[in-house]
Every structure is written in structure tokens, then in C-alpha cells.
């Protein structure tokens, strides 16, 4: 029997199958003004990565076997989660928070995965575009994971702002439903102090997605009281968690007080491009069929010719990655 909990951490899981096709039959709007007033990016906003002491979980702790891991000979790629860590200085994180707050009026409501969010942030924020191309920012992200990482060719899903607030009267609360991302390398930067909101926890299932799928009903019903569901330790503005989003089921619980904003930055490993787990039908419900077709072509091209992609996009030479431990 499934026991439900009286707490407020219950979140549904995303739908699949034909529902994705139905949700894809729209044209996404593109209404953000191109030149909002924002402070310029400064290279000095990149924080120093700690040499040691960053919490981490390996894929084996999520019951993955070595045969299932990403990577290739000479390039181990088995980090499941890490953090919290600061990728930006306090000044950098405050500047980013202001920018993301100012962009809120252009966020779109969609109950597919994340209820309220703005996609393709690189297209509307020169600050964010410069941040994800900053050589030191990319070097730190790469060192944390242990593989070289660059901006993701799927621009719509690459950098997104997620907004969580208590529901307006009668509306469903803003959440992230239980899901796997299309992206392998996701850095979730919180732009709110935890004390500013109640609820809004990033929760994840510490186990294999196969087991999540078998026990989906029980896990979604129990929420945070399920023994394998844990909350990521976000506390302060700027705290960042790495998650192998495509392999770790996660969700965000409803906010009942205050508000929470996160910036989700997904990166791409040009050496392991063929292992990218994005699927056409994962992003079509958010972006519409037409836009997804174009995005998809660009992703396939970048997988085939990563050096050409970097040159064309002005992405700095791939930083070398030695894992920091």
C-alpha cells in the first residue's frame, strides 16, 4: 500500500508518449527585448574553486554499473552530483540575481517540467552569454566534473532561469516535476537564500532511474519522506550544484512562502558529444516542433564537428580538465 505524506513535498512526474506530441504543437514566443539594462560581465566575477572539500556523489552511489557510465578510455566521467560550490564571487552572484529578477516578466508558464521559466537566456543577456564563455568559468566547471566542458549547442535548453513562488489563487503551484534532464552536465545556481523561501527544495532520488520508474507512484506520493529522496544542500545566493541531470531523477517542491530563482546552466563535453542524452521529444514540448528541428540540426553538427562549432561561436579553446580533489 502507498502511504501518502501530509507534508508539501509531493510533486508529480512528467508525462511522456503521445502527450509530448500534443504539447509540441505550438510555436514558442520570443518576446524578450534584446537590450535590457544590465551590468556588464566582469572576468573578476569568477570565484576560485576550492582545492578540496566539495561534497560529491559518484554514479556507483546511484547504482550505476561501470558498463553504463559515460566516458571513454582515459577519460573517466562518473560524477553524479557535487556541491554546493560557488562558481561566482558574491558580487558576481548578486549581479546575476538582479539580472534574473529583471527578466521574470518574460518567463513562460508551461506545466510540462518546470512550471515557470525563461529559456535561451544567452540570447537575451550579454552578461550570461559572456559568463558561459569565460575561460576561467569553463575551466572551473570542467575541473569540478573532470571532463572539458563548453556552452551547449542546444541553445534553448542551454541556460534557463526557473522561477518558483506561491500559487496565485486557484492556480497550481510552480514546481519542477520529477524528471530526467536531456543534459548530462547541469549546474544549478541558486539566486535566493534558502531563508527567503519555504519549500522550493531541489530533491533528488538516490538510486537508478530504472528503480525510480518501477516505484514512481510511491516515490512521488511520499516526496521528501521517501528514504531515498534527499534535498540538495542549497543555502545561499550563488550556491551551485552539479548534477548529471540525464541520469539522476530530480524535482523541485512547491514554494509556500517567499520566492526562489535558479539559473540552470547546462554544458557540453566536445570529447563525448555522441553520449549527449538529449532527445528530440524531450525539448519539443517546451520549444515547439519547428524551433526544435533547427536546434536539433545544430546539435548534430556540433557533435560531428566540435572544433568548427567552437570557432564559429567564439567559444574559447577547450580547457584541459584534471579533476580537483
Residues forming contacts to Fe ion in the complex (CB under 5 A) are 181, 245
Q: For residue 136, what are the CA distances in angstroms to 109, 133, 238? A: 34, 9, 17
Partner whose footprint covers residue 84, from ligand AKG, Fe ion, none (CB < 5 to 8 Å by kind):
none
**114 or 284: CB nearest ligand AKG:** 114
- What is the C-alpha separation between 66 and 157, in angstroms, rounded? 28
Residue with cell 520549444: 287
**185 or 202: CB nearest ligand AKG:** 202
Spatial CA neighbour of 100 closest among 265, 286, 261: 261
Q: At closest approach, how far in Å is the CB of 288 from ligand AKG?
A: 18
Q: At closest approach, how far in Å is the CB of 58 from ligand AKG?
A: 20
Spatial CA neighbour of 159 closest among 124, 195, 194, 192: 124
Partner whose footprint covers residue 158, from ligand AKG, Fe ion, none (CB < 5 to 8 Å by kind):
none
What count of other Cβ atoms lies within 10 Å of the Cβ of residue 89? 16
Q: Which three cell numbers stand for residue 272?
A: 563525448
Residue nearest Fe ion, Cβ-based: 181
Residue with cell 535558479: 262
**157 or 269: CB nearest Fe ion:** 157
Q: At closest approach, how far in Å is the CB of 79 from Fe ion?
A: 16
Local structure of residue 35 (DSSP, 8 states)? -
Q: For residue 304, what are the CA distances in angstroms to 24, 275, 299? A: 27, 12, 9
What is the three-class DSSP state of 219?
A: helix
Partner whose footprint covers residue 96, from Fe ion, ligand AKG, none (CB < 5 to 8 Å by kind):
none
Q: At closest approach, how far in Å is the CB of 176 from Fe ion?
A: 6
Contacts with ligand AKG by CB under 6 A lie at: 114, 160, 162, 176, 181, 188, 202, 250, 252, 262, 264
Q: At closest approach, how far in Å is the CB of 118 from ligand AKG?
A: 11
**117 or 139: CB nearest Fe ion:** 117
**46 or 269: CB nearest Fe ion:** 269
Q: For residue 219, what are the CA distances in angstroms to 73, 204, 208, 215? A: 36, 10, 13, 6
Partner whose footprint covers residue 162, from Fe ion, ligand AKG, none (CB < 5 to 8 Å by kind):
ligand AKG
**163 or 309: CB nearest ligand AKG:** 163
Q: At closest approach, how far in Å is the CB of 122 from Fe ion?
A: 18
Spatial CA neighbour of 186 closest among 285, 110, 282, 268: 268
Amino acid at each position: 500500500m502507498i502511504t501518502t505524506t501530509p507534508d508539501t513535498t509531493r510533486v508529480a512526474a512528467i508525462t511522456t508518449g503521445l502527450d509530448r506530441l500534443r504539447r509540441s504543437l505550438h510555436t514558442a514566443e520570443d518576446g524578450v527585448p534584446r537590450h535590457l539594462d544590465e551590468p556588464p560581465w566582469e572576468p573578476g566575477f569568477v570565484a576560485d574553486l576550492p582545492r578540496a572539500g566539495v561534497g560529491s556523489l559518484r554514479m556507483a552511489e546511484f547504482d550505476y554499473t561501470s558498463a553504463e557510465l559515460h566516458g571513454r578510455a582515459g577519460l573517466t566521467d562518473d560524477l553524479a552530483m557535487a556541491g554546493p560550490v560557488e562558481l561566482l564571487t558574491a558580487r558576481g552572484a548578486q549581479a546575476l540575481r538582479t539580472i534574473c529578477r529583471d527578466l521574470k516578466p518574460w518567463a513562460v508558464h508551461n506545466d510540462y517540467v518546470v512550471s515557470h521559466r525563461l529559456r535561451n537566456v544567452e540570447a537575451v543577456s550579454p552578461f550570461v552569454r559572456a559568463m558561459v564563455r569565460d575561460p576561467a568559468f569553463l575551466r572551473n566547471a570542467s575541473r569540478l566534473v573532470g571532463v572539458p566542458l563548453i556552452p551547449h549547442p542546444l541553445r534553448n535548453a542551454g541556460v534557463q532561469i526557473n522561477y518558483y513562488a506561491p500559487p496565485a489563487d486557484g492556480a497550481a503551484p510552480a514546481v519542477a516535476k520529477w524528471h530526467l534532464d536531456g543534459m548530462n552536465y547541469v549546474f544549478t545556481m541558486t539566486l535566493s537564500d534558502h531563508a527567503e523561501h519555504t519549500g522550493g527544495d531541489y530533491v533528488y532520488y538516490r538510486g537508478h532511474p530504472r528503480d525510480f520508474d518501477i516505484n514512481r507512484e510511491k516515490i512521488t506520493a511520499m516526496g521528501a519522506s521517501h528514504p531515498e529522496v534527499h534535498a540538495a544542500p542549497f543555502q545561499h545566493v550563488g550556491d551551485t550544484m552539479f548534477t548529471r541531470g540525464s541520469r539522476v531523477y530530480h524535482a523541485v517542491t512547491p514554494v509556500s512562502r517567499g520566492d526562489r530563482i535558479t539559473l540552470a546552466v547546462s554544458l557540453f563535453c566536445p570529447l563525448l558529444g555522441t553520449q549527449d542524452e538529449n532527445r528530440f521529444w524531450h525539448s519539443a514540448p517546451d520549444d515547439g516542433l519547428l524551433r526544435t528541428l533547427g536546434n536539433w540540426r545544430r546539435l548534430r553538427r556540433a557533435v560531428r564537428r566540435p572544433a568548427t562549432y567552437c570557432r564559429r561561436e567564439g567559444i574559447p579553446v577547450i580547457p584541459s580538465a584534471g579533476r580537483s580533489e
